Amino acid sequence: MLFWPKLNSLWRNLTERQKVEADLANEIRSYRELLEEQKIREGADPVTARREASIELGGAEKLKEEVRDVRRGAAFDVLGAELRQSLRGLRRNPSLTVLGTTMLSLGMGACIVVFSIFQSVLLKPLPFREANRLLTISETRVDRGIDHASFSEANFWDVRSYNHSFSEVGAYHYDEANLTGFGPAEKVVACEVSAGFFRTLGVSPVLGRDFSYDDDRGGFRNSVVMVGNKFWKTRFGGDPRVLGKTLRLNDKAYVVIGVLPPGEPWIDDQLYMPFGYRPDADRTSWEFQVMGRLKPGVTGEAAQADLAQIAASLAQSFPKEDKGIGFVFTPSSTWVASDTTRRALWVLLGAVTFLLLIACLNIANLLLARGTARMREIAVRTALGASRARLTRFVMMESLLLNGLGAAAGLFVAYLGIGLIQSVEIRGIPRLADAGLNTWVLAFAVFIALVTGVLSGLAPALQAPASGIAAALRDGDRQTSSRGQGRLRNVLVTGEVALSFLLLVGAGLLIRSFKELMTVDRGFHTENRLMFTVSMPGSYWEKGIGKQFLDRFFERLKTNPQVLAAGAVNQRPVEGGDPGMGIDTPQSSAPPPWAGWRIVTPGYFAAVGLPLVRGRLFDENDKPVWIPKDVPPYPRRVILSDRLAKQIFKNEDPIGKKVVLWKGQSSGLAEVVGVVGDSRERGLAENPTLTVYLPYGTNALTSEFVVHTRDNPLALVPTIRSLVGQLDPNLPISDVRSFDQVVYRSVAPQRLNAILLSIFSVLALLLATTGIYGVLSYSITRRTPEIGLRVALGATRSNILGMTIREGLRPALIGVLLGAIGAFWLSRYLATLLFGVKPFDAVTYLAVATLLLATAALACYIPGRRAIQTDPASALRIE
């Protein structure tokens, strides 16, 4: 009700101000004239009438002001006036404005950069319907210490059929295929998925149809394929007539039946084929990733209990394969970023929060100092009737305005920062390329500007009107501020130093840990090593075509003078997968150790620089451990990594001893012919792995090549390409990198953290130094007369210098102590990110404390020196 007239009057008040004002003036004039007339009619003479009318009206301006106050939108007027006033204040004091904005822009820029990454990695939802119902299901064998494993095919079919908790369960099997028919042969990711896979994710094709349950029924492989959106765009130019076309994959034809919507990178540039249900599906090789979509209303616990029952019956029905089986869930939120990345981002977010707080304290300090300098102005305003609330609001407005400017500049800083990070960091941080200044990030910038604006305005605003007016007017601008204010400023400095301590300790720990990580004994050697992938389709496993290629390739490569050693393996170190097996002596009855297995060519060990510890390496006579049925049995031979050999054989010499491969699933015996050094196969931060090496051969091919070169390994790439091209033009080369690059990329999250935290802590140090310097130099200026007096009374220069430095260092020292306590308490959250360094690392703590105190002393020294140069006579004259 009455909404319209209200809005109307608001509109009129704001837009037709002049007309409204003129109207009011006329109305008051007319009232006065009428009143005068009335008085004259009542018998007064004109002069008296005029005087009485004026008295009754009580001042036209005051009247107008009172009417303005009741007008709708009056608050806007006041706000506008105050805003103009604050802007004028900031313009009158450019050094404060520039200094404040710069400090804030750095703090806020850092904050915005980290938040934009954080938002893109952790907050942006997965492009799947109701992603919170989605989860990964993994097999476990707790009795063998396996808490996360892929599914075996048969177990997947059983879980899919017998569970009551999931509306859909889907599985996929990562695979690659050679694509021909689009220029040179190319390796593409071609996953096999169960028919319900995309329905589980909640993804529907944008074109064509999804796999139906007919596609995976009947135990045969249907030759149909669905293509990812990016694949469709790049290979087919987004042509809708792609449906029904044929793709040649591994020399077999597949018909395109559907196109997927754009989504996560791992779903975009791939091909998907259905894998069929087989009653004789394998129960022992764990190769399938399984995802489930919980039915509405079913909790994770209920589903867990449901699957526990299935596990129990599987263990009973298949005691050999499924003994001790269990299932665990991981929420889909972990699909984008691993726990380490998530934790690293949280740590960064904490770090920038501290940084922003430091900037905030600095601004508070600046405004406080200015408030003191403006004591007289404020006193005059108070005397003229400015209310306490209005003065507080004025100071607050100034702080908000300054922080607004800071946020705007911070957005610019962040824009540059994100670009810089994206240009140096390609992999390692998922979705990094998506990070940017989107609506979320802008809203965040506004939010932090408001919060820091209020925070940094709080102390100055409360201080502003509290001081005595009379004293301020008497003493003028140069009056010595109250003891309480000096203490407040010292508290702010203490806070800055403490926060900087936290940041510096965090950065120090991460830098030390990164250094440890990069210098840890890797086992293999990475310098001057070239890595690349030549993937061979399944047909190469037959008739020895693949083995022939490998042999001829290495033979030709050996003649190149640049090549020191060359070999190949089935899984690339650090980046590749880690297939494993149980392995132990035939006599042992304990649970067998779990070891990763690798198929290698004889030259592999020399190529990656793994030393031979005992026995011998493989030679041409060692054949694959998979003995084909049509071949007479031959002795099987393996090489163990040092730790594995020690674990199995304790102190005995393992050479010539027998081990059971895939213990628990088969009884194939093999002889140990050699022991090689340990290596960090699964990445630098992981402990050296237990590994068993198997010889390559006709039915055991290797796709990951390692070449040890004399000079720059990447210079050899053209030679390799032409050599592979000459030998077999159908084989694609991919993932060409130096081993150093592989390792470098694998530590991307750690490196990004170390670098960013270092930058943040340098900023923090800079801000804290400015803060200390500002406070001290201000207090020295204020105390010039006092110092002059001291000098006049006989204080030496070193007395004065010592006094100022002591005074400046006291809050810094308290800050260091508080910071150390805080860091001790907080560094536990850093513990899982550290490598080779304890969270409470005395060296780091001492170094940080020394650095902070030294910087603080320097910040004190400069104003201190100015103090001792004071000429006592002139100093006293100021008074």
Partner 1 sequence: MSPSNTNLLQGTLDVLILKVLALQPMHGLGISNRIAQVTSNTFVVKPGSLFPALHRMEEAGWLTSTWGESENNRRAKFYRLTAAGRRQLKQETDLWARISAAMARALKAT
Chain contacts with partner 1 (rule: CB under 8 A): 1-2, 5-6, 9, 23-24, 26-28, 30-31, 33-35, 37-38, 56-58, 62-63, 66-67, 69-72
Nearer to partner 1, 15 or 313 (CB): 15
CB of 388 to partner 1, least distance (A): 24
Q: Which two tokens stand for residue 748?
A: 């991307």
Nearer to partner 1, 58 or 237 (CB): 58
Plot region of 59 (φ>0 → left; ψ -120 to 50 → alpha; else → beta): left
**Looking at beta carbons only, is 31 or 415 nearer to partner 1?**
31
Chain position carrying tokens 């934009």: 116
The residue with tokens 């500007």 is 449
Pick between residue 57 and residue 851 the one whose CB is nearest to partner 1: 57
In order of 198, 210, 241, 683, the CA distances from 233 in angstroms are 20, 19, 12, 35
Check: CB of residue 665 under 8 Å from CB of residue 696.
no
Bridge partners (DSSP) of residue 603 are none
Least gap, CB of 390 to partner 1 (angstroms): 20
Secondary element (H or E) of residue 705: strand 704-709
- Nearest-angstrom CA–CA distance, 745 and 575: 9
Residue 691 · residue 599 · CB < 8 Å: no
Q: Do the Cβ atoms of 155 and 318 come closer than 8 Å?
A: no
CB 88 within 8 Å of CB 29:
no
Which one, 62 or 828, has the nearer CB to partner 1? 62
Encoded amino acid at 418, one letter: I
Q: How many helices (H) and strands (E) does the chain have?
A: 27, 24
Report strand pairing: 691-695 vs 637-641. Answer: antiparallel
Single-letter residue type at 202: G
294-305: string of b/e by CB count within 10 Å (b at 16+)?
A: beeebeeeebee
- Minimum CB distance to partner 1 smaller for 35 or for 755: 35
861 three-state secondary structure? helix
Between residues 28 and 759, which has the closer beta carbon with respect to partner 1?
A: 28
Length of the chain: 879
Angle, alpha carbons 820-825-831 (nearest 5°)? 110
Closest CB to partner 1 among residues 33, 686: 33
Q: Please, which residue, 62 or 427, has the CB nearer to partner 1?
A: 62
> At its nearest, how many Å lie between partner 1 and the CB of residue 203?
56
Shortest distance, position 82 Cβ to partner 1, whole Å? 22
Return the exposure string of 359-372: e unless at least 16 CB atoms fall within 10 Å of the residue's CB, then b: bbbbbbbbbbbbbb
CB of 389 to partner 1, least distance (A): 21
Residue 80 CB, shortest distance to partner 1, in Å, is: 19
Strands (DSSP E) found in 554-603? 563-569, 580-582, 594-600
863 in Cβ contact with 869 (< 8 Å) = no
Using the minimum distance from each CB to partner 1, give the nearer residue, 67 or 736. Answer: 67
As measured in angstroms, the least distance from the Cβ of 238 to partner 1 is 59
Nearer Cβ to partner 1 (72/646): 72
The residue (of 25 and 631) whose beta carbon lies closer to partner 1 is 25
Residue 435 · residue 418 · CB < 8 Å: yes
Closest CA to 477 of 378, 558, 553, 588: 378
Closest approach, Cβ 790 to partner 1, in A, equals: 59
Closest approach of partner 1 to the CB of residue 29, in Å? 9
Beta carbon of residue 79, minimum distance to partner 1 (angstroms, whole number): 19
Nearer Cβ to partner 1 (24/149): 24
**Biggest CA-to-CA distance, the chain:** 141
Smallest gap from Cβ 40 to partner 1, in A, equals 11
Got the DSSP string for 450-461? Answer: HHHHHHHHHHHH
Q: Ramachandran region of residue 577, left (φ > 0), alpha (ψ -120 to 50) or beta?
A: beta
Which amino acid, 236? Answer: F
d(CA 312, CA 4): 71
Shortest distance, CB of residue 470 to partner 1, whole angstroms?
A: 31
Gap between the Cα atoms of 341 and 472, Å rounded: 55
**Structure letter (DSSP) for residue 322:** S
- CA–centroid distance for 695 within its chain: 41
* Cβ 14 to partner 1 shortest distance, Å: 13
32 vs 797 by CB, closer to partner 1:
32
Tell me which residue has tokens 């592989």: 742
| Of residues 68 and 525, the one with the C-beta less far from partner 1 | 68
Closest CA to 618 of 630, 603, 633, 628: 603
Q: CB of 385: closest distance to partner 1 in angstroms?
A: 17
Q: Tokens 């109250």 sit at which residue?
A: 482
761: helix, coil or strand? helix
Give the residue from 367, 381, 450 showing the smallest Cα distance to 82: 381
Kindly state the smallest distance separating residue 71's Cβ from partner 1, in Å. 7
Nearer to partner 1, 60 or 766 (CB): 60
Q: Are 207 and 261 in contact (CB under 8 A)?
A: no
Q: Specify whether the CB–CB gap between 165 and 134 falls below 8 A.
A: no
To the nearest whole angstrom, how small is the minimum distance from the Cβ of residue 476 to partner 1?
Answer: 38
Minimum distance between the CB of residue 434 and partner 1, rounded to whole angstroms?
50
Compare residues 28 and 380 and give the one whose CB is closer to partner 1. 28
